[in-house]
């Protein structure tokens, strides 16, 4: 029973937190009419644009990710391949607002692309603010993610299949149609739904690059209804709509989450037979160059713009260091809470899965830790705002609320990173520990910590980096006295203080990468050979 207690306790706390947020939403929604949404032209337009931009972003991201992933799978050996695969993880760690600044520096009115066009005698075009900029930013974040999710499909193709393909003399097009596509087809809907949900709930990108009411999504409309209009009814209606949409999307991901890999018969290593043709080689390296340039250009622009800005003046600003201190404190506290909660849930789920053979109940327990996928942070923050407003000064308690929401935001990542290793450790060492009488803290110290140190470090680092770069909840609860680095950067961008914004963006990028790398190295230790 002791092994079930940690997860039960965490789920009880989660139920209390979510219940408090829901109580605010339900109380405010009691006077709303169900047809209020469709009677409001503005709200209908917001919902329509939210779906449209998410659909286009998903099609673009997957349409580019498929040839890039295939190119990386076909070209297993070229200089810098390992480094490139690591770079594909950067968009997940880089703060959204920093990447947006880099995108502005490349594609904005005075950005690199328009300067190159002016050098060729072409009139500069304003295409960044609005749907165009939103699509560019979403592709920047989701193209690498889709590539990393799709790439393992090719790694699961057994060598015997490639040997048979060579014997049959199949062309590259035949291989794609008869071998690769049947393996991709079960996974594509799941990846597409995940990317769609990320774009559907995008906040910082749309807030900074939306360009006006015509390019507003549901989350941005919630923020505007609370912070500018103080229309609690509209905010609640939009939050409930967002909640329903996200619940349906998560249900779709779970329903389409089955993948059926082909098991190798003998496990022989065999190269693909379609690697020698020159057009295919040129196309593959063009795809690889595309993802490399699209990832590095905005980040390079952040570095060069930051170094060219008023570095000494910005670094002497007390507001920068106060914001950095708050960001760092929130990141460390929220990441620690997320990992503690995740470990508690996983202790219970692995006990249910391995020792009690209750696989369905174990999966349901882990799914409870992924509530934030169903309830977006801004919706949760809206519920807190409405529920606590009659009781306390919400802005006074905002740092604690930000920590709680950020911890919930990192919890699904903890469960996915730590879940498989914790299950594997139990399967491999449970009987040995029982036979030797090793239990409690002795088991944690001698058996589990050495084996789980690396995934724990990665979980902490990932949660800390996500919290450091978060703008959503901070934008809702932030004030003059409560300002994190992402909020400070957004304020400087909105005030057209581009020099100060450039240095702030570089400072935030450096802090995020140092925090991620430092936690992963200190907690995770050196990688095992």
Residue 42 pLDDT exceeds 50:
yes
CB 509 within 8 A of CB 417: no
> CA–CA separation, 5 vs 426, rounded Å?
17
In this structure, the answer to whether residues 258 and 398 fall within a common structural domain is no
Residue 262 pLDDT exceeds 50:
no
Residue 507 pLDDT exceeds 90:
yes
pLDDT band at 529 (very low <50, low <70, confident <90, very high): very low
Residues 155-176 have a mean pLDDT of: 69
pTM for the whole structure: 0.83
Of 280, 301, 322, at which residue does a domain stop?
301
In this structure, the answer to whether residues 74 and 21 fall within a common structural domain is no
In this structure, the answer to whether residues 185 and 269 fall within a common structural domain is yes
Of 276, 301, 326, at which residue does a domain stop?
301
In this structure, the answer to whether residues 322 and 445 fall within a common structural domain is yes
Report the residue count for the chain: 529
In this structure, the answer to whether residues 98 and 182 fall within a common structural domain is yes
Residue 37's SS3 state is: helix
pLDDT band at 253 (very low <50, low <70, confident <90, very high): low
What is the total count of domains within the chain?
A: 2
Residue 369 pLDDT exceeds 80:
no
What dihedral do alpha carbons 500, 502, 492, 200 form, nearest 10°?
A: -170
In this structure, the answer to whether residues 41 and 27 fall within a common structural domain is no
The domain of 436 spans: 1-31+309-529
CB 298 within 8 A of CB 105: yes
> CA–CA separation, 497 vs 517, rounded Å?
30
In this structure, the answer to whether residues 400 and 277 fall within a common structural domain is no
In this structure, the answer to whether residues 297 and 378 fall within a common structural domain is no
* Residue with the larger pLDDT of the pair 197 and 269: 197
The runs of H, that is alpha helices, within 156-277 are 159-168, 172-175, 181-184, 188-200, 204-209, 218-227, 232-255
In this structure, the answer to whether residues 46 and 127 fall within a common structural domain is yes
In this structure, the answer to whether residues 290 and 321 fall within a common structural domain is no
> CA–CA separation, 382 vs 224, rounded Å?
11
In this structure, the answer to whether residues 15 and 129 fall within a common structural domain is no
Give the number of other Cβ atoms within 10 Å of residue 213's Cβ: 13
In this structure, the answer to whether residues 73 and 12 fall within a common structural domain is no
Residue (of 159, 110, 180, 196) closest to 373 by Cα position:
196
List, for residues 170-187, the tens digit of each pLDDT value.
776 777 777 777 778 877
> CA–CA separation, 387 vs 25, rounded Å?
7
Domain of residue 377, CATH code: 1.10.3720.10
What dihedral do alpha carbons 280, 284, 289, 290 form, nearest 10°?
A: 100
Residues 3-17 have a mean pLDDT of: 84
CB 305 within 8 A of CB 200: no
3-state helix, strand, coil in the chain (%, to 5): 75, 0, 25
Of 301, 323, 356, at which residue does a domain stop?
301
CB 468 within 8 A of CB 422: no
Residue 216's SS3 state is: coil
Residue (of 346, 27, 379, 335) closest to 218 by Cα position:
379
DSSP 36-52: HHHH-HHHHHHHHHHHH
Burial class (CB in 10 A: 0-12, 13-18, 19+), 119: exposed
Average pLDDT taken over every residue of the chain: 82
Q: Average the pLDDT over each of 122-131, 157-166, 280-289, 312-321 and give the range with the smallest value.
A: 157-166
Q: Average the pLDDT over each of 39-48, 159-168, 291-300 and give the range with the smallest value.
A: 159-168
List, for residues 74-102, the tens digit of each pLDDT value.
877 778 778 888 888 888 888 889 999 99
């Amino acid at each position: 029973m002791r092994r079930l207690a940690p997860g039960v306790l965490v789920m009880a706390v989660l139920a209390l937190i979510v219940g408090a947020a829901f109580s605010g939403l339900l109380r405010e929604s009691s006077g709303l009419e169900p047809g209020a949404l469709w009677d409001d032209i503005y709200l209908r337009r917001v919902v329509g644009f939210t779906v449209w931009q998410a659909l286009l972003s998903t099609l673009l991201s997957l349409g580019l990710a498929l040839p890039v992933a295939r190119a990386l799978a076909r070209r297993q050996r070229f200089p810098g391949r390992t480094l490139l695969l690591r770079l594909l993880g950067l968009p997940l760690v880089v703060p959204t607002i920093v990447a947006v600044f880099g995108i502005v520096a490349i594609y904005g009115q005075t950005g690199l692309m328009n300067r190159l066009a002016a050098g060729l005698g072409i009139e500069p075009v304003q295409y960044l603010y609005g749907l165009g900029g939103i699509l560019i930013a979403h592709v920047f974040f989701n193209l690498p993610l889709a590539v990393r999710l799709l790439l393992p499909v090719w790694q699961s193709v057994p060598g015997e299949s490639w040997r048979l393909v060579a014997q049959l003399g199949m062309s590259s097009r035949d291989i794609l149609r008869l071998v690769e596509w049947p393996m991709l087809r079960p996974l594509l809907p799941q990846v597409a739904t995940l990317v769609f949900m990320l774009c559907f709930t995008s906040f910082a990108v749309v807030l900074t690059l939306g360009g006006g009411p015509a390019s507003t999504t549901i989350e941005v409309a919630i923020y505007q209804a609370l912070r500018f209009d103080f229309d609690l009814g509209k905010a609640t209606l939009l939050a409930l709509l967002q909640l329903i949409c996200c619940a349906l999307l998560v249900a779709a991901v779970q329903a389409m989450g089955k993948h059926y890999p082909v098991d190798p018969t003998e496990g022989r290593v065999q190269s693909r037979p379609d690697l020698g043709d020159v057009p295919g080689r040129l196309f593959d390296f063009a795809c690889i160059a595309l993802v490399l340039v699209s990832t590095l250009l905005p980040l390079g622009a952040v570095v060069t713009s930051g170094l060219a800005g008023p570095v000494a003046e910005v670094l002497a600003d007390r507001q920068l260091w106060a914001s950095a201190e708050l960001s760092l404190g929130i990141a460390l506290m929220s990441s620690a809470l997320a990992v503690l909660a995740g470990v508690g849930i996983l202790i219970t789920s692995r006990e249910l899965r391995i020792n009690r053979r209750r696989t369905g109940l174990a999966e349901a327990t882990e799914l409870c830790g992924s509530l934030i996928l169903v309830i977006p942070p801004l919706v949760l923050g809206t519920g807190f705002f409405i529920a606590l407003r009659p009781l306390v000064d919400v802005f006074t308690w905002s740092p604690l609320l930000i920590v709680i929401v950020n911890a919930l935001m990192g919890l699904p990542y903890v469960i996915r990173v730590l879940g498989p290793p914790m299950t594997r450790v139990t399967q491999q060492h449970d009987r040995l520990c029982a036979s030797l009488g090793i239990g409690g803290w002795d088991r944690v110290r001698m058996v589990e910590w050495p084996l789980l140190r690396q995934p724990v470090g990665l979980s902490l680092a990932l949660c800390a980096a996500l919290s450091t770069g978060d703008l959503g909840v901070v934008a809702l609860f932030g004030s003059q006295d409560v300002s994190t680095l992402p909020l400070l950067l957004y304020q400087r961008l909105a005030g057209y203080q581009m020099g100060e914004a450039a240095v702030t963006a570089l400072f935030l990028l450096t802090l995020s990468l140092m925090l991620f790398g430092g936690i992963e190295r200190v907690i995770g230790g050196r990688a095992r050979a």
